[in-house]
Structure 1
Amino acid sequence: MTIRYLEIFVEVCKQMNMSKAAQSLMISQSSVSQAVAALEKEYETILFERLNHSLYLTKAGEQMLYLSSQVLKSVSQMEKTMKLGNTVPTLNIGVCTTIGSCLLHPLLAAYRKRCGDVHVHVSAEINNSRVLEEKLLHAQLDLAVIQETDASPYLRYRPFLKDRLAVICWNGHPLAEAGRKTDLTELQKETFVGRESGSGTDYLLKQVFSSHGLSLKMDWCCNSIEGIKQAVIHRAGLAVMSEFLIQKELADKTFRVVEVNDFVFARRFVMACHKDKMESPEFKQFVALCDQLGQEGMEDLIAAT
């Protein structure tokens, strides 16, 4: 096994086509096939299923992809460190859009304070939960804060923050009348402004309606919190948002919460990492900070922003 073989294997996984991988790496297709065959022979396993002229990763291949990505990442970091002549620890984290909008910056400030004089380079990405899970599986992130949904057998999770979602409308909407309550059947008649596919909020909302045999009318999708707020303000539809994100608009009565009979939209955010993740000191320190803050501490950070 060589580093070059791992690079070729990862590129094949990216392209899922040996010919395209060869073109990308500017080598012959036979060299690509030889590298994959050598890895399969060395580890006595099958990395790809070959069906109808298409490639599919086996379970062993998925594991090999994660570990190979980790090795290549470590080699890249080693080269940068040795060439620079110093060692700056790094932490690559991802957060879902809700957490990125209300908690990321105060949390990172608290983390830097906890690190003291030890300089840690932190790279943070805001994206939807599905994208972040994929990046964890491919060793592109050390950890991610995502909405708890269907658990992946390749990731491990720990509690992060409980959240409540609210159905909101503009001030003046019929459902905004004081004391009025509605139900999911009536909400089915309304138009909603939603998040993009892959969003945890979008997943939960559709799951709630489908579990009651109802469909959701969603005419507009936005991939930003501010975009959804503006859509509601301009009466494009109702929306479902975290209560953490709408405190200002509720206080100045820009938005009203629609009361839904006998139903609470609740969810939980979790910290996720790959099940085989090697935990660095900076990784452990970040997790310890989050554990120490807990629900109350997280809410205090959000309220202070």
Structure 2
Amino acid sequence: MRHSTLRQLEVFEAIARLGSFTRAAEELYLTQPTVSMQIKKLSDAVGLPLFEHVGKKVYLTDAGRALHAFAREIFDHFARFEMTIADMKGLKKGTLKLAVVTTAKYFAPRLLGPFCQRYPGIDVSLKVSNRERVLERLAENQDDLYILGQPPEELDAVAEPFLENPLVVLAPANHPLVGRKIPLARLAEEPFLMREPGSGTRKALERLFAAHGLALKVRMELGSNEAIKQAIVGGLGVSVLSRHTLALDAPMGQLAVLDVEGFPIPRHWYVAYPAGKQLSVVARTFLDYLKQAPKHVSEVPCHHASVGECPLLPEPTTKRKRSTTA
């Protein structure tokens, strides 16, 4: 191993991450024979095969998994060193890797825009996925920071609230309940459009109904907030979503926020990272920036029929919360 090069480790890491020699060659602007040769040299140095081929798929061997963890640690150290030197020079340069749950896409770009303008030397990689996949990435420490709608209690992680995330009841603009004060028991009579089981929004709604001894009438489960909003407009039912989902592509003038007992349900957006992780200079800079998040996210127009103003973004709390493994 002593004679292995950083280039060989870089090639190996790309294959392990992408699961493909071809894609690794494309990412690194190398020919596939060159990639294969670098891996052969590295395997010879280790004395054990690093990959095994099953059909067209590539899998890490036990030795490969051990080396992959080692290689990622090396590259993390180099990235921190580069950013530390940049910080010493009074610069903010490097890469910020973010992974966010699907609903966060409604405000994440508006947070990143001013940040990138303030620090033009920072490149941002943004991964958007469902909560389950984001938690997998957090467990594997694949990114710098993670944005979720509820703390990752199933993992040993630090989670800090930075932005309020109120859940509201949405209905078609011509719904007969618009403009009325609505008891929760009356809302329970309406057919609901829901996200998949396990969704943080769905869990919050189910807890509220259970606390009042009420049952949900689920008419349909849909896989995205966009599909739910279109189904609401189509008159298929009502739903509970983050008010942030009204920020971008909500059907203008076709949705209303109902004035329901117990709503909005107060929630927060959390920024998380593995407990004990040493944040890079860039990640720490973005974490500090998030504490001013309401200044960078514009207020969403309110379609509430009986309330003149709907405050969306009050001052954030900055109390740090550490969650432990259950």
- TM-score range, shorter-chain basis? 0.5 to 0.7
Structure 1 counterpart of 2:212, one-letter code = H
Q: Is 2:95 the counterpart of 1:90?
A: yes
Structure 2 counterpart of 1:104, one-letter code = A
Secondary structure of 2:277 counterpart:
coil
Identity %: 26
Aligned-pair Cα RMSD in Å:
4.0
**Under a length normalisation based on structure 2, what TM-score does the superposition of the two structures give?**
0.62
The alpha-carbon distance between structure 1 residues 157 and 183, as it changes in their structure 2 partners (threshold 3 A), is same
Select 1:113's aligned residue among 117, 124, 128: 117
User: How many residues are aligned here?
Assistant: 244
**Under a length normalisation based on structure 1, what TM-score does the superposition of the two structures give?**
0.66
Aligned to 1:26: 52
Secondary structure of 1:223 counterpart:
coil
Contact 2:164 / 2:267 at 8 angstroms: preserved in 1?
yes
**Structure 1 unpaired stretches of 5+:** 12-22, 37-64, 81-86
Structure 2 counterpart of 1:96, one-letter code = V
* Separation in 2, partners of 1:70, 1:198: 30
**Structure 2 unpaired stretches of 5+:** 17-48, 54-60, 80-85, 87-92, 302-326
The alpha-carbon distance between structure 1 residues 290 and 302, as it changes in their structure 2 partners (threshold 3 A), is farther
Select 1:100's aligned residue among 105, 109, 116: 105
The alpha-carbon distance between structure 1 residues 248 and 133, as it changes in their structure 2 partners (threshold 3 A), is closer
Q: Structure 1, residues 10-46: CA drift from partner, whole Å, max 9, x if none?
A: x9xxxxxxxxxxx99439xxxx78x69xxxxxxxxxx
Deviation for aligned residue 1:236: 1.5
Deviation for aligned residue 1:73: 2.5
Secondary structure of 2:207 counterpart:
helix
Aligned to 1:190: 190
Deviation for aligned residue 1:150: 5.9
* Separation in 1, partners of 2:300, 2:252: 18
The alpha-carbon distance between structure 1 residues 211 and 262, as it changes in their structure 2 partners (threshold 3 A), is closer
List aligned pairs for 1:12-51, cutoff 5 A.
25-26=51-52
Structure 2 counterpart of 1:182, one-letter code = I
Deviation for aligned residue 1:199: 2.6
Aligned to 2:287: 287
Deviation for aligned residue 1:202: 1.9
Structure 2 counterpart of 1:279, one-letter code = L
Q: Is 2:153 the counterpart of 1:127?
A: no
* Separation in 2, partners of 1:163, 1:132: 18
Structure 2 counterpart of 1:151, one-letter code = E
* Separation in 2, partners of 1:187, 1:238: 9
List aligned pairs for 1:203-222, cutoff 5 A.
203-222=203-222
Contact 1:146 / 1:270 at 8 angstroms: preserved in 2?
yes
* Separation in 2, partners of 1:184, 1:302: 25
* Separation in 2, partners of 1:127, 1:250: 20
* Separation in 2, partners of 1:191, 1:248: 25
Aligned to 1:173: 175
More helix by share: 1
Contact 1:107 / 1:301 at 8 angstroms: preserved in 2?
no
* Separation in 1, partners of 2:210, 2:278: 39
Contact 1:90 / 1:121 at 8 angstroms: preserved in 2?
yes
Structure 2 counterpart of 1:196, one-letter code = E
Q: Is 2:270 the counterpart of 1:270?
A: yes
Deviation for aligned residue 1:148: 2.2
Contact 2:100 / 2:146 at 8 angstroms: preserved in 1?
yes
Secondary structure of 1:121 counterpart:
strand
Contact 2:229 / 2:251 at 8 angstroms: preserved in 1?
no
